[in-house]
Amino acid sequence: MKGYNYLKINVCDSVCTLTISAPKSLNALNSNILKEMDDFLTNLDEGVRALIITGDGEKSFVAGADISEMQSLNAEEGERFGAFGARVFRKIEVLPIPVIAAVNGFALGGGCELALACDIRIASTNAKFGQPEVGLGIIPGFSGTYRLTKIVGMGYAKEMIYTGRAIKADEALRIGLVNAVYEPERLMDKAAELALRILRNAPIAVRYAKECINEEYDLPAEEAIAFESRMFGKCFDTKDQKAGMTAFLTKQEAHFTNE
């Protein structure tokens, strides 16, 4: 597997764990890290069926984007930097496999936006989420105003973004920003457990379900329902559908082949 300077990669049982590792800067995102993430996502092995993203150490998931790099940017350069980060995060959002954010410690600014791009977020009890950009004279630049609103609703999103206030894991759970909260020492085991639970199901069906959820979110109801019906029909062209239903009717365990 290709080596990176700022990413640690481990694959076990078709689950890939991507660890962002720049501990001196609390894993803050700079152009080099974003380029490595872009390359990793572009070349992700086809045998990987679930991805877990986390940060190196218990202090920080990702503390934000690298302020020292952004400080001297002009408007054109700032737009380019934001657009690149947004493209990388969009790649995460549309990956044809489920992506779990295992959030340990700070998930601020770009770190919160990275978590938002994942399908499912779980957090340790010491996690903190926030979009503090307005205190730096900027706004969220990696699609934070878009995704945070969709996930927690306009009221909570506006409060978090306008005030720049960081929230703790228990509040993040209450407003629906994360799915579950665990003690730090249990976080990665729980992320792996969740990934393996997903892997027990038909991979094509999981992929189609993700595509439906992503594509239908902004569609009018009739178009969304029609899209789901088409994807539902496509499932019946797969060997996995035959295997799953046969196993159910014969009271046996299904063995899926991703076909």
State pLDDT tens for residues 188-230: 999 999 999 999 999 999 999 999 999 998 899 999 999 999 9
In the annotation, is 36 catalytic? no
- The token pair at 21 is 């590792």
pLDDT-derived band at 3 (thresholds 50, 70, 90) equals confident
Structure tokens at 229: 């019906």
- Would the pLDDT of 58 be above 90? no
- Quote the percentage of the chain above a pLDDT of 70: 100
- How far, CA to CA in Å, does 157 sit from each of 4, 9, 249? 34, 32, 46
Average pLDDT, the chain: 96
The model's confidence at residue 34, banded by pLDDT at 50, 70 and 90, is very high
pLDDT at 255: 92
Structure confidence at residue 9 (pLDDT): 97
Q: Which two tokens stand for residue 105?
A: 């410690």
Active-site residue among 69, 79, 113, 159? 113
The strand ranges marked E within the chain are 7-12, 15-20, 50-55, 60-62, 99-103, 106-108, 120-124, 128-130, 167-168, 180-182
Measured between alpha carbons, how far is 4 from 30 in angstroms, rounded to an integer? 14
The Cα-based distances of 86 to 91, 191, 231 in angstroms read 9, 25, 27
pLDDT band of residue 1 (cuts 50, 70, 90) is: low
Does the pLDDT value for residue 86 go beyond 70? yes
The active-site residue, picked from 46, 58, 77, 133, is 133
**pLDDT surpasses 90 at 2:** no
> Which residue type does 189 have?
D
Is 159 among the residues known to form the active site?
no
The angle at the Cα of 148, spanning 142 to 152, to the nearest 5 degrees, equals 170
CA distances from residue 227 to 76, 146, 212, 219, 234 in whole angstroms, order as listed: 38, 23, 7, 9, 11
pLDDT at residue 70, as a whole number: 92
- pLDDT tens per residue, range 124-181: 999 999 999 999 999 999 999 999 999 999 999 999 999 999 999 999 999 999 999 9
Residue type, 28: A
The CATH class of 7-199 is alpha beta
Decide: 90 and 113 in contact? Cβ < 8 Å. no
| Alpha-carbon span 226 to 6, nearest angstrom | 43
What one-character-per-residue DSSP string does 109-146 give?
THHHHHHHHSSEEEEETT-EEE--GGGGT----SSHHH
For residue 206, give the amino acid letter.
V
pLDDT tens column, 44-53: 998 999 999 9
Two structure tokens written together for 23: 């501990």
Q: How far is CA 109 from CA 32, 128, 192, in A?
A: 17, 11, 26
* CATH number listed for the domain at residues 203-249: 1.10.12.10
Q: What is the pLDDT of residue 76?
A: 97
pLDDT the model gives residue 179: 98
How many residues are listed for the chain in this entry?
A: 259
Q: Where are the domains of the chain?
A: 7-199, 203-249
